[in-house]
Amino acid sequence: MTTGDRIHFLRNNLQLTLQELGDKVGVGASTVRKWETGLIQSIRTDKIQKLAAALNTSIDYLMGWTDNSVNIGSVGTNNGVIGQNSGELHVSEEYSKEEVELIRVYNALSVKDRSKLLNFAWSLEDNAWSRADIVIAYALYCITPLNQIKPTNKVIQQVAKIIPHSVSSIVMRMLNFKHIDPKAGEGLGHVAKKDILVYEEFKHDWGALSIEAETLTGLALFDSTPLHGAKPLSSLTDHKRVSRERHFFKKAVLSAYNDTCYISGCTLPQMLIASHIKPYSECRSEEDRVSPDNGICLNTFYDKAFDSGLITITPSMTVYVSPLVTHRQNDDFTHKWLLNLDGSVLLPPPRFSPRRAFLEYHNDIIFKR
């Protein structure tokens, strides 16, 4: 990861806009964007220090000298500018001689040669990741809200004790899938062929992904929370494949919508449901039953209205209300929470946008006209 990648990663974790981070550091939003995209590669010491403070991290992490994003003290400045080739390098005692030497060599290289060194290092890192490790990382990506893909996530911390990779490394691997996922926007940029192969293998076989990931970790991943972690899989009373697949579907759908009702914005966990677009009983394949793009996160009120065909959502993400509601004398509650929805347009979710075929099925078969 470049310094720009790390700034982008931490800013997203803290849910800061470009302008909000710029205000904290004393620069404009365009400057922050140039840092993140690499158009500006030399960041002055005073700015890198303010960035580290604003992002709750250390200079070491921002400069790529450690994968630990927790602030452990500053490392290295060069004539007032971080990342240049001249000046003395000051390194904290936690680094070995070999690590210090790697930092020195990196600083001595040209921008082009630094890129070559990073690519070589990434290739070594990729070789250390087995298919099983990547399967686990992909499953975690699918069931974790984007704003919870961070080192403090208890589930990620548990997995780091099972597979031979650090918490930060797992987080970065998860974000690689955000880069691959066409509906999720940009990730970190560095994507290995192994990641793409795993993504292609499971993008239409969610049931297999759910079973394999939990089997590999021995954790009940789909009953977990970022705050409390996951219980051992062996502690569950129901290990049936269908049950675990349903838990995966629920977890993936709720996470895709950042645990927020798609229509109302409600975030109360007890009120949220992973509602099937094409009803579970009508699905003729395992893929359709388990696929997260056959689900929408709704609160209990809108889930009932959606399942009953009183409302529908078209492929253009437009909400329509059934004539059974619009053509009757309605109370104030129904008018406010149903009739007012008619014709409203929703923004696509961050991940797993509803599949067109499922929405069309709901429009044609479930919706009461």
| Least confident stretch, 58-67, 72-81, 170-179, 215-224 | 72-81
Domains, the chain, ordered by start: 3-125 (1.10.260.40), 129-254 (no CATH), 258-366 (no CATH)
Asked if 188 contacts 260 with a C-beta cutoff of 8 angstroms, the reply is no
257 vs 106, more confident: 257
Question: Is 60 exceeded by the pLDDT of residue 94?
Answer: no
Element spanning 209, H or E: helix 206-217
| Residue 318 in this model has a pLDDT that exceeds 90 | yes
Q: Do residues 345 and 317 lie in contact, with contact meaning Cβ atoms separated by under 8 Å?
A: yes
Q: Please check whether residue 231 is in contact with residue 217, taking contact to mean a CB–CB distance below 8 angstroms.
A: no
Q: Note the helical H segments in 161-204.
A: 167-180, 193-202
The answer for 64, left when phi > 0, alpha when psi is -120 to 50, beta otherwise, is left
What is the C-alpha separation between 351 and 314, in angstroms, rounded?
17
pLDDT tens digits, residue range 245-265?
A: 899 999 999 999 999 999 999
Q: What is the mean pLDDT of the chain?
A: 85
pLDDT of residue 186: 53
Q: Give the CA count within 13 Å in the CB-facing half-sphere of 276.
A: 15
Q: How confident is the model at residue 81 (pLDDT cuts 50, 70, 90)?
A: very low
Closest C-alpha among 55, 210, 241 to residue 139: 210
Instruction: Tell me how far apart the terminal alpha carbons of the chain are, to the nearest angstrom.
Output: 53
9 φ, ψ to 5°?
A: -60, -50
d(CA 294, CA 356): 9
Residue 321 confidence (pLDDT): 96
- The mean pLDDT of 275-291, rounded to a whole number, is 93
